[in-house]
Amino acid sequence: MQKIPCSVLVLTRNAASTLDRALKPLAPFGEILVHDANSEDETMAIAKKYGAKVLKQYDTEEKSVRVKDFTEIRLKQRADATFDWVFYLDADEEIPPELATEIGEILKTAYPKVIIKIPRLPVINGKIFRHGAFWPEVMPRIHHRKGGCTLQEGKAVHEKYVYDDSFTVVITRNPLFVPMDPLPDLIQKDDTYIALEAKRFREQGKRSLWHFIKWFLIREPLIMLNILLHILWCRVRYFGKDSLPFPYEWRIVRYHARLLGALIWSKVTS
């Protein structure tokens, strides 16, 4: 069978509990490229089992290194890829066979200025949830590295695609699945991201008071309000059927509330 001419790029750090599920469906792709943080579990052994090329995230022997800048490391992954089409996949995500087939069909005729977005659906204890404040979440995941698309500089977490109106966006019919970690683990991960964002804010230097008010004192509360309204709308529209459990939804509100608090503290103490 002819391989899909696309490199799948995966970041790992002690990801043995989810990596097998993530890599097993990737056999149709031309390359699996895993950048590892010197994991201390079986991550690298699992990656090699599926024929992945394993590289280091950082040139160090330190174990379980944390990513300092996700945008920087994602661009490094792209530079190390064999194919021009690249697919960013998280180590805790899973693509069904139908999605792999669909991606292969799209890439047969796609040109460099195409961005492929993929819906994501959460899974908790084997159950798929189709509705929520951000679900299905449709995210850009595949692009051609010579088409002019890049990632926004300075985004230490939640990396953001940058491309103009000359690009065509294609959204897949089939979603990928995100088996959710236990809620305490997700909250711990959120707190790590908040710390990275606060650090980036401090390192960006002094900003005007209006910039701070506009982007944080106004923007973050509006995001929280929007999330709460979406949670309510989902429960009214779908009667709660297949809707993400409320504690998982509230976690997103918590993230933005704590992020706002961290940024205010950084502003006060800078």
Report CA torsion sign: 45, 49, 50, 56.
positive
Out of 17-21, 103-107, 141-145, 150-154, least confident range: 150-154
Residue type, 259: L
4-179 architecture in CATH?
Alpha-Beta Complex (3.90)
Q: Which two tokens stand for residue 241?
A: 């059927």
Residue 35 in this model has a pLDDT that exceeds 80:
yes
Q: What is the pLDDT, as a whole number, of residue 270?
A: 65
Q: Tell me how far CA of residue 229 lies from CA of 122, 226, 234, 268, in angstroms.
A: 20, 5, 9, 31
- Over residues 105-123, mean pLDDT: 97
User: What are 156-204's pLDDT values in tens digits?
Assistant: 777 899 999 999 999 999 999 999 989 999 999 899 988 888 887 777 7
Q: What is the pLDDT, as a whole number, of residue 206?
A: 61
- Of the two residues 58 and 205, the one the predictor is more confident about is 58
Bridge partner residues of 179 (DSSP): 123
- Of the two residues 235 and 138, the one the predictor is more confident about is 138
Single pTM value for the model: 0.82
Q: What is the pLDDT, as a whole number, of residue 106?
A: 98
User: What are 220-257's pLDDT values in tens digits?
Assistant: 888 888 888 888 888 887 777 888 898 998 998 899 88
Residue 207 in this model has a pLDDT that exceeds 80:
no
Q: What is the pLDDT, as a whole number, of residue 205?
A: 64
Q: Which two tokens stand for residue 104?
A: 């292969």
